Amino acid sequence: DQQVKQNSPSLSVQEGRISILNCDYTNSMFDYFLWYKKYPAEGPTFLISISSIKDKNEDGRFTVFLNKSAKHLSLHIVPSQPGDSAVYFCAASAETGANNLFFGTGTRLTVIP
Amino acid sequence: DTAVSQTPKYLVTQMGNDKSIKCEQNLGHDTMYWYKQDSKKFLKIMFSYNNKELIINETVPNRFSPKSPDKAHLNLHINSLELGDSAVYFCASSPGLLNSPLHFGNGTRLTVT
């Protein structure tokens, strides 16, 4: 039972354009959402997060949007750079005290120079 | 100076063997985790460990056991290895506070033949 879903396994974007990665979740108890970036043969690296009390969080070129009613979040990267090419994982957790993250299956982003 | 380090990076072994994967974090974090990434690239929590409190994902076979000699280490022992145990195992740590990002190691690719 996958509670966090990323329905696009891959995305290709031209350098300089916007990349939009999407994520849906089913558990209404989730109140903290994160995006991780992963290069081959490395572990996931934390990118940006948002709590359920907000609908937008921005950090440089990265912005995460949260739509609680739709149980949907997205990551916008503007402008996209070739170094952004990686697999992006969406993750979520609920205030259970365990801080356990539920991950999506990832979206492979390729930024074309 | 890697924040979360795990060894070995690759582990190839035969069915029925017992093996261990070591994990160390130098971030001063209170909570450590083991995640498994299966062939479908799905990252799933196996254990979280905080101040001697172990929280186990109920789907994890009891052949898997985490051992924490101190706050900076959480090793994973696997008994009677099976073909289905082949996966990439990631160690992670966090400050132990709710809604704090996890920091991951680079993973151990386990292949059971």
Average the pLDDT over A88-104 and give the result: 81
Q: Is B99 on the interface with A (CB under 8 A)?
A: yes
Work out the minimum CA distance from B1 to partner chain A, whole angstroms: 15
Locate the chain A residue with the closest alpha carbon to B89: A43
Given a cut of 70, is residue A96 above it in pLDDT? no
Helix, coil or strand: residue A112:
strand
The 3-state DSSP class for residue B69 equals: coil
Percent of all residues in chain A with a pLDDT value above 70, rounded to a whole number:
95
Confidence bin at A7 (pLDDT 50/70/90): very high
| pLDDT tier for residue A98 given thresholds of 50, 70 and 90 | low
User: Which H helix or E strand runs over A54?
Assistant: none
Q: Choosing among A99, A102, A105, A108, which should be mutated to test the B contact, i.e. which has the most B CBs within 10 A?
A: A99
pLDDT of residue B48: 87
Residue of A nearest to B96 (CA): A99
pLDDT in the model for residue B57: 77
Scanning B36-65 for CB atoms below 8 A from A yields 40-45, 48, 55
Q: How far apart are CA B4 and CA B91, in angstroms?
A: 7
Judged on CB neighbours under 10 Å (0-12, 13-18, 19+), B39 is exposed
> What burial class does residue B28 get, using C-beta atoms within 10 Å of its C-beta: 0-12 exposed, 13-18 middle, 19+ buried?
exposed
Say whether B43 and A49 touch across the interface (CB within 8 A).
no
Question: Given this model, what pLDDT does residue B50 score?
Answer: 84
Q: Which residue of chain A has the CA closest to B56? A: A98
Q: pLDDT 10s digit of each residue in chain B, 113 long?
A: 669 999 999 999 999 999 999 999 999 998 899 999 988 788 998 988 887 788 777 788 999 999 998 889 999 999 999 999 999 999 999 986 667 788 999 999 999 99
Looking at the complex, report in whole angstroms how far the Cα of residue A20 sits from the nearest Cα belonging to chain B.
21
Residues of B in contact with A33 (CB under 8 A): none
Neighboring chain B residues of A51 at a CB cutoff of 8 Å: 99
Q: Where are the beta strands (DSSP E) in chain A?
A: 4-5, 10-14, 19-25, 30-38, 45-51, 56-59, 62-67, 72-77, 86-94, 102-103, 107-112
| pLDDT (tens digit per residue) in A50-82 | 999 999 999 999 999 999 999 999 999 999 999
pLDDT of residue A90: 96
Please report the pLDDT score of residue A97 as a whole number. Answer: 47
